[in-house]
Amino acid sequence: MKNLRVAAVQFEHVAGDKNANLAVIRRFVLEAARQGVELILFPECCITGYWFLTKLTRPQLEQLAEPVPDGESCQAVRQLSREYGMTIGAGLVEIDAGKAMYNSFFVAMPDGHYAVHRKLHSFESEFITAGDQYTVFDTPHGCRAAVLICYDNNIIENVRICALAGAELLLAPHQTGGCRSGSPFAMGLIDRQLWLRRREEPAAIEAELRGDKGRGWLMRWLPARAHDNGLFLVFSNGVGIDDDEVRTGNAMVLDPYGRIIAETWAAADAMVVADLDASLRERSTGARWLRARRPNLYGPLTVPTGREQDTRTVRFE
């Protein structure tokens, strides 16, 4: 792996307005280019909008969805990638030739190559199909990257499989924080008025974004994904109003020791930039743990317990 300058973005998307969201993406790409960024990550479904998807009929969702990579949105992202020599990742709803739809994340690379990840643990709509493949690929920046979307990152086996496939950098686009949760210590709804009054009372909304509904929850598990697998991790997220929830932002970049090297808790659209020091990976704890594995003992990991549930059930129970 080579050293790499990356950026993570949080922004408040407009539900269903792809042109408006692409304009925000372009604005951040321009700013990132001025700072010498080589790879920039935007949130899950940031092109199409996210939580309002739960309320769409199948015809409405089909109208919003696009083929990948030939749809207009992906082509716009590819053009930005070529124009600024930057790898750009952004999320949208994909539709394939058979009319199956996916919560997908598209990564355009300046050499013309691209990658697309279909969310493995999708729950946004009964009309969205879960993906069934891991997405690990080489970038033109001298590093091997993987993509896992939001809930995909919660399942520890997913991250480990990406690391075993040679990933050095995990791209983790999200729409999280401020969510309904069955656990009293995992997230929770944020009063919409706190967001609407964020300029008059910035301390009140910042406390929520940094507290247990946002950053506090992330800190219980996100650094472990980087640390335990010896990966750099770029976390992007929505911020602000997302249908009937308020996203908590906290865009950040972590090193292979699980340390945060750049972050924001701004109650606003924002970007953080970080330089990844490739020399940290080889002797990181997680990289050494990967070499100490005993795969002959791990057969039980592939045996169903009978307690498995569809993500839709687990998310809302």
Which CATH number is 110's domain given? 3.60.110.10
pLDDT for residue 30: 98
Number of structural domains (the chain) is 1
Show pLDDT as tens, one digit a residue, over the chain (317 residues). Answer: 999 999 999 999 999 999 999 999 999 999 999 999 999 999 999 999 999 999 999 999 999 999 999 999 999 999 999 999 999 999 999 999 999 999 999 999 999 999 999 999 999 999 999 999 999 999 999 999 999 999 999 999 999 999 999 999 999 999 999 998 777 777 899 999 999 999 999 999 999 999 999 999 999 999 999 999 999 999 999 999 999 999 999 999 999 999 999 999 999 999 999 999 999 998 999 999 999 999 999 999 999 998 888 877 666 55
Annotated catalytic residue, options 119, 162, 168, 213: 119
Annotated catalytic residue, options 12, 18, 38, 44: 44
Classify residue 200 as exposed, middle or buried by CB count within 10 Å of its CB (0-12, 13-18, 19+): exposed
Q: Give dist(CA 84, CA 86) in Å, integer.
A: 5
119 included as an active-site residue:
yes
CB 141 within 8 A of CB 4: yes
pLDDT for residue 186: 79
Question: Has this prediction a pTM greater than 0.85?
Answer: yes
C-alpha distance from residue 245 to each of 50, 224, 240 (Å):
11, 26, 8
Annotated catalytic residue, options 74, 143, 150, 179: 150
Structural domain that includes position 289: 4-316
